[in-house]
Amino acid sequence: MGLILYQYEFCPFCAKVRAKLEELNIPYEAINVERDPNDPLRKEMRERSGVATVPVIKHGDVWLGESADIIAYVEKHKEELKNVG
Ligand SMILES: N[C@@H](CCC(=O)N[C@@H](CS)C(=O)NCC(=O)O)C(=O)O
């Protein structure tokens, strides 16, 4: 079960999350989302994660926003996140 990172390439909070994932050697798929808050994927992210900003991660049924919370989550689950087939 892989990690998906919803982001903007030039968002500094997203860059912080990418740097942490790379430091921990966690594979992930980065999806560059639309800037439009009415975009269907942006709406789904907002509803599932409870935050309106990027970055947001999806890991199975877990949706999480806020870069500090995401970093805490990947630190905590790093072994599981590294071992995706
Ligand atoms: N406190 C948030 C801040 C994230 C944030 O402000 N992200 C900006 C992009 S850098 C954003 O999504 N702004 C709203 C938007 O572009 O729709 C975090 O650390 O994740």
The closest-lying atom of ligand 1 relative to the alpha carbon of residue 37 is: 17
Choose among 30, 29, 24: nearest CA to 73. 24
* Domain covering 3-82, topology: Glutaredoxin (3.40.30)
pLDDT over threshold 70, residue 7: yes
Neighbours of 7 (CB within 10 A): 21
Averaged pLDDT, 10-21: 98
Residue 83 — very low, low, confident or very high, per pLDDT cuts 50/70/90? confident
In angstroms, what is the span from residue 66 Cα to ligand 1's centroid?
Answer: 8
Contact 24, 75 (CB under 8 A): yes
Burial 43-52 (b: 16+ CB within 10 A, else e): eebbeebeee
- Residue-level pLDDT at 33: 97
pLDDT digits (tens, 9 = 90+) for 38-80: 999 999 999 999 999 999 999 999 999 999 999 999 999 999 9
- Residue-level pLDDT at 85: 61
